[in-house]
Structures are given as structure tokens and as C-alpha cells.
A and B are shown apart, each in its own frame.
Chain A
Amino acid sequence: MRSSEANASPRRWEDATPRVSGEPLEQLPLDLYIPADALAIWLEQFEGPLDLLLYLIRKHNLDILEIPVAEVTEQYLEYLELMKSMAIELAAEYLLMAAWLAEIKSRMLLPPEPRGEEDEEPVDPRAELVERLLEYERTTRASGWLDERPRRDRDWFAVAIDPPASLPPPPLPAELDGLVSAMRRLLREGSVRRAHHVRAEPLSVRERMTAILDGLAAGAPRPLADFFRPEEGRMGIAVSTVAILELTRTRAIDWEQDEPFGPVTLYRVAAEPAETEEER
């Protein structure tokens, strides 16, 4: 099935036998019976060394927790040679992985290093690699899960007609003491009403941080009070407070108060890493 005549770049395919390190490659790896020009495309599909390694392990039905390092290293290098021979530009990450595999392989040959405590298990030199492979595998599955979700602009399209005129601005926020007394009342009510409930906490700081950033996305400062929803009770106020503090700490947002006891407004800090810490 080799299409050496039809190939667009005959120079590379003058000799139909692929060469690895100058030696003709007599036998392709067993799972590689693919037309030669498709091979390059196939090899380029790997998302990186972890992907390639995971493929090798799965392909040969190896136990990921008990990787035969010598065997896998050999196969890995074989694929690297194949890629090189196909003139695929190898990213440095592939070579780094090769070095890491070689290191693990050599450390497997040495007696395990004793660790301080006697009863502690010696560290398996493969442990970190296994962990990263498993983590990567989870990532690929998670991304597959995402891809299968019905997605906007692929599986469905939003329907929206623009409403006609611009709407009148919303009324101004309440005065501070009104807010304080309202919050006090709600805190009191909230603590009375919620005392008996035992249930999973539906509020999350992470979600709230997202909501606050969304609220400030337009760039206009908004009063602090906008971000407290009294109907969420005491826990809601706590979650909002923690979220605002957290966002302030990471400098995603900042505060402003025009006068003592005046209303506090929040605004979004433009993302620029140039600001230096030394200014203090």
C-alpha cells in the first residue's frame, strides 16, 4: 500500500525503505501498518511525550502501576527515531522525557536508597512518572467528556432578537444605614430560620468570585452592597465577604471609599503584571 510514486516530495521517498539512524528499518513496529505518508500525520497526532508514552503502555497492555521501564524506554526511543526519520520536528519535551526514562531505568538498577526511618517504604523511582501519566489520562478523559457535551454553535444556537430601545437606568442603591439595618435584620432572621437545617452548602466561594468578577466585568465600579444577597442568610454574607477578600488579595479587584463612612465601591483591576512589589 506504499504510494511512493504519488508522493508530493519524491526526494524523501526515493528509497521506499524507511531508515532509522541510517539503517534501513526492516520491520515497522507491529501496529504501524499504515501508508507511509499517513504515518507522519499519525505520529504528529500525539499531544506530547506523556500522550505517546500512555499510548505505548495501553497499546501493549502494560500495567501502568508496574511499568517495565526498560521495555517502554526502548519502544519510546524507537518511536522518537521514527519521528526523526520522518523529519518531524521534535519538541524538547520529547527529549526531556527520554532523559527522564533513562534516569528511572538506571535508578531501577541500583539498590533502593535508604530513607531516614527504617520502616518507611523505599520510593519507587517510577512513582512520579506513574502519577503524571494517570493525571494526564484523567485530563484526556475529562476533555473528552467536555467535547461530548452539547455545545453552543455546534449542537445548538442561541436565539435572541435585540430588544428595541435602551432601558431606563435602574434606581440608585440604598443609603448606607438602610443597608446596615437591612443586613442586621436579615442576619437575625437568617440565623433564626436556618438554625434547624442540615444540608449540603449550596454556596461556593469560587462561584461567588466568578459572579463578582462578572458583575464588575463592564468596568464600572459598583457598590459593595450589590454583592450581598440577603436572602442567602449569614452563610451567603460570609461567602461573599471571603470571595471579595480573596479577589482583593489576588488583586483582581480593589475598593474605593470617597469619604469616611461613605459607601464603598468595588472596581476591577486591569490585568497587568508589570506592577512591582518594591513600591511599598
Chain B
Amino acid sequence: MTDRKGAQPPEGLVELVEALLLVHAEPLTLEALGGMVGQETDPALIEAAVGRLASRYESHRFVRLEPVTRNGTPGWRLVAAASLAPYLQAGEAARPPRLSRALLETLALIAWRQPITRGEIEAARGVAVNPQILRQLNERGWVRSLGHRDSPGRPEMLGTTREFLSDFGIDSLEELPDFDQFAGQDDIDV
């Protein structure tokens, strides 16, 4: 990212933008930044400030300024990169980074086929859903109840959360590739 010619961010704006990004875990769009900085500030100046900040963070080994699309509009957030992971894991019992196949398959069915009931997940995977897995998905905040279906037994319908999208770096459900795209004849590894 480079500064635009002529757009010199005024004294303190880069630091202000940095502080705003620091207190928000979620990405901030240009509009959101503008709303906080003050409407009288030219968006081009804020963009220039973000550019400055990005080049400043380029030399940082563990933190980077990451561009993110949010609701179709560009935004940014500060993230700690994977290079930090070994240090974090050495310090505390971090969440295991690996997700089981059972959990991922259940999550995939919920993401692509929502609203989906537990029975439909079981039919698609051919095995009973382990309650432990649904609990884990709930604890991570990726899956939630979407109410109950108007059919006998009123089964609970499951769907994904915003947190799921944000944790997997997906802007919206529409961004998920078409499920049928995953059909194919190439060999799977076991």
C-alpha cells in the first residue's frame, strides 16, 4: 500500500487510526474509521493513514495490518500472525489447533446446508452425531440454534454464526463455494 500523492495525513492521524484498530478485534471499514475519526476528515486522508500504518507494520515480526473484506467493502484489522503460535502454546494450554474430521464434516454440513437438523447431519454422514462435537462447535461460537422446524418432533435447526465467518476469514455465507463444486472424481487421500 502506498500513500496517494498529495494525501498527507495530518499530525496524529496515523496514531489515531492505529489506536482505533487496536481496540477493535473486528475489522474496521473506511466508513467505520471515518465515523470515529470525524466526518470532516477526508476519507482519502484516512486511507493514506492506513497506508502509512501498513508500511510501518511491514517490519513487525508478529503483528500485521491485514486487509479484510467486510460486507463487500474493504476494511482492515490488526492481527498477530501464525509466527506467534509456538510462543502462545508454550505459555498456556492453547486450544488444539487441529480439528477432528468428524467436527469439520459436521461444521461443513451446517455451513452449507443450514438450516439443518441433527437428523439430516446424521443421514448425510451415515453416523450418529456425537453430542460432544455439537458442544465443541457451540463453545467455539461457530454454531447456534435457528429455532425449531414445524414438523413432528419440532427438531432443532442449526446454523452458523458471524463468529464462524470471521474466524474462517469468510465475508458472508454467499462467499462459500457452491457445494456441488466439491464433486469430482479425483482420488481422496486416506
Contacts and interface: CB of A to CB of B under 8 A. Distances in A.
B149 A250 contact: yes
A156 B127 contact: no
B148 A142 contact: no
B168 A151 contact: yes
Contacts of B128: 91, 93
Contacts of A160: 22-25
Contacts of B97: 153-154
A204 B66 CA distance: 27
A1 interface: no
B105 interface: yes
A154 B105 contact: no
Main secondary structure of the interface of A (DSSP, over half): helix
B147 A158 contact: no
A235 to B, nearest CB: 15
Interface stretch (A21-29, A46-54, A175-183, A191-199): A46-54
Nearest to A277: B154
The size class of the interface chain A forms with chain B is: 35 or more
A234 B148 CA distance: 29
Contacts, number: 170
A124 B137 CA distance: 38
B162 interface: yes
B151 to A, nearest CB: 11
Interface stretch (B3-11, B44-52, B182-190): B182-190
A48 B127 contact: yes
A206 interface: yes
Contacts of A155: 82
B82 to A, nearest CB: 5
A47 B24 contact: no
A58 B88 contact: no
Interface string A243-280: 00001011110000000000000000001010001000
Contact of B188 (A134, A140, A161, A277): A140
Contacts of B149: 250
Contacts of A150: 168-169
Contacts of A140: 101, 105, 188
Contact of B146 (A55, A139, A250, A273): A250
Contact of A249 (B101, B150, B156, B187): B150
B147 A139 contact: no
B70 to A, nearest CB: 13
Given A135-B124, A158-B79, A252-B145, A214 B162 contact: yes
Contacts of B101: 47, 140, 143
B144 A213 contact: yes
Contact of B127 (A49, A152, A154): A49
A145 B188 CA distance: 13
B177 A145 contact: yes
A207 B145 contact: no
A58 B127 CA distance: 20
A139 B23 contact: no
A277 B179 CA distance: 36
A202 interface: yes
Contacts of A153: 94-95, 97, 167
A156 B66 contact: yes
B102 interface: yes
A67 to B, nearest CB: 14
Contact of A151 (B123, B167, B184, B188): B167
Top 10 nearest A-B pairs (CB, nearest first) are A250-B147, A48-B127, A252-B147, A141-B182, A160-B25, A50-B126, A143-B104, A157-B80, A143-B108, A152-B167
Interface of A: 45, 47-51, 54-55, 58-59, 64, 91, 93, 97, 132, 134-147, 149-163, 202, 204, 206-207, 209-210, 213-214, 247, 249-252, 271, 273, 277
Interface of B: 21-25, 63, 66, 72, 77-82, 84-85, 88, 94-95, 97, 99, 101-102, 104-105, 107-109, 111-112, 114-115, 123-128, 144-150, 154, 156-157, 159-162, 166-170, 172-174, 177, 179-180, 182-185, 187-188, 190
8 contacts: A135-B124, A137-B183, A138-B180, A139-B182, A149-B168, A150-B168, A206-B173, A207-B173
